[in-house]
Structure 1
Amino acid sequence: MSTRVTDRTATVFTLPDAALDGLGTRPFGVYIHVPFCATRCGYCDFNTYTAGELGTSASPQSWLEGLRRELDAGAAMLGRDGRTVPATETVFVGGGTPSLLGGDGLSNVLAAVRSSFGLAAGAEVTTESNPESTSPEFFEAIRGAGYTRVSLGMQSAAQHVLRVLDRTHTPGRAVAAAKEARAAGFGHVNLDMIYGTPGERDEDLDATLDAVLSAEVDHVSAYSLIVEDGTALARKVRRGELPAPDDDVLAARYERIDARLAEAGMGWYEVSNWSKPGAECRHNLGYWDGGDWWGAGPGAHSHVGGVRWWNVKHPARYADELAAGALPVADSETLTAEDRHMERVMLVLRLRTGLPLADLQPDEVAAAERVVDEGLLRRDGDRVVLTDRGRLLADGVIRDILS
């Protein structure tokens, strides 16, 4: 098991030399968490806050001031004792709703990353956006600031499905926003889908896929609806107001999505992600391939050299701790060799490139061979790769190998 240290703040938190010594040998990225949303979606359990929930305790300005301090402190920690801080290869601004910051706000965010960690030549810079808080002027502003990729939350093209999810955008707005982003010069645009929402019909999924393909994006993320504890959706399911997602329906929807996207020239490269060749999200690949990243913002998670830590969640406390000169670290853990092995199997096996058999212990190789015989994995040289049916049961395949 990992070694955990609880209730730590920056007055005591530091990275050990062993974690820093490998910097630059692994991909390095920066994740920025924007905790603000205009409304709360019923299915969402992310660390986000509406203006009414925050009141006067925090604001985008206090968050940005804290963000600058955290990034500067992070660069100083990684550059301790004369070490070279790796230039940032990927930046991902997520949330929450980053587009609520507007073009100027997101430009300031990227400027803060540049001034602290710096950007590598050809860096991938992504921001998530809600279609309703974007415009041609917004896309032109962030493209001019240096963003190279936009990820838009579409979820569905069916109004009644969006209503169940408590999404506020109109069905056609996501496609229009994607086209505006492309017109502003973005070569890489992603649309996020959610499938399996209660009340979604086959024709609703087909309409969503038609809309996605009409937008001519080069990347699609499609996630089955998960009913998270503590959400408004979970309460409705518990009260019997909505049915829980059906596993057989989810499997059929996934196969339909995969087939339609493949026909359009987008292949899967991770179980829930499809892209045209060369349009894979490099930032997410850094997570899956065991890279390093600094996560800045309330509740953001970081990982460097086998040490993982995460920030306090509330934006007010986040800003206050940084104003007091402390990194806002809530908790941390040092991963053991066993932890790192398990995580590598869990993440890499979800990729289309598969998992090298050399990464497995002898008993795990034997288990993987049994899964091959069951038709859920296939051999590809010295690697094992999920079959089409295996993708539907990926979590179970991973458990079988690791158990």
Structure 2
Amino acid sequence: MSGTVALIVAAGRGARFGGDVPKQYRRLGGRAVLRHAVERLQSHPGIAQVRVVISPDDRARYDEAVAGLGLLPPVAGGATRQQSVRNGLESLIPLKPDAVLIHDAARPFLDAGVIDRVIEGLARAPGAIAALPVVDTIKRAKEAAGATARIETTTSRDRLWRAQTPQGFRFDAILAAHRAAAGTEHTDDAAVAEATGLAVELVMGSEENFKITTEDDLQRAERLLGGGAWEYRSASGYDVHRFAPGDAIMLCGIRVPHSAALEGHSDADVGLHALTDALLGCIGAGDIGQHFPPSDPRWRGADSSKFLAHAGELVAAKGGRIAHLDVTIICERPKVGPHRAAMIERIAQILGLDQGRVSVKATTTEGLGFTGRAEGIAAQATATVALPL
């Protein structure tokens, strides 16, 4: 077929991945995950043009990620993936494409063979999607998916396939199917097509065409990309804030009730400040005061998660990844133990890390020094970062 356009869906927020940077804009080999997906489709001779559906909030990230690629202007997505795809399809009407390939931005390793097979499938059916036959034994659980579950029954894997993208369709057919599906929700575009009776062919996908959903997936992608040699760097951070009148403090991103507050230009979160400096130290990027000067009124009372997220983005911009973070809170009060799990979860969320890569500890100074006299709180942190050579 001719006149095939690729539509890449990149409007999601990646809730399962975590962190303040959506996974499609995280760095993979020094470039955004989205750029890898775009380049794979744009370089294929069977693809005439590429358009990306994005969240308007991510426009600056998008522009940076695809700079110089000469794509069609992006289109704003909707509240759900299905709505985003429909927005993208509607925007393609003036181009009058014969067919469209819809692809997830978080699948960076799409190869030319998969694209070929999907396009060829459209000569035989209105729809064709990349997929892989299920080879593992399938168990149905009694409970919803979780850390553990009990087996209810064994399900036959015969005729079962794992759907991937791209999912290709004759343009007029899939546009009509999406319009008809308004008000309903389906898990992918093939399901939208099926709901209106369109025949969809399964063509062989690729194990490498996996979707980046978690931090571990991103690490797997780095290894698959070739990885090359890595340099590991460690650096420390330290911060102190005195107590002031108040009834709570911010500590490692968590509001902790207390008989006092912490005094500072921002929210005075000593834990996040120490971690920010540790990350900046790993990449030789100065300290927190250089990036967020106390003299700048923009940072008065600011949420310190912005500082830590910024440091994480600077690491990612260098093609690096955070291997581990460790922070020790030094104070007599409040007790950190009851809040430790929440602190670990919050730090991991800010940086898009697995919680196993974050450690939060606490100690006292046995009544000695300013922390022993309960005049304030200190924190010291260590970060380990892997950077490509």
TMscore range, shorter length: under 0.3
TM-score calculated relative to the size of structure 1: 0.25
Q: Which has the higher helix share?
A: 1
Larger radius of gyration: 2
Q: Which has the higher strand share?
A: 2
TM-score calculated relative to the size of structure 2: 0.26
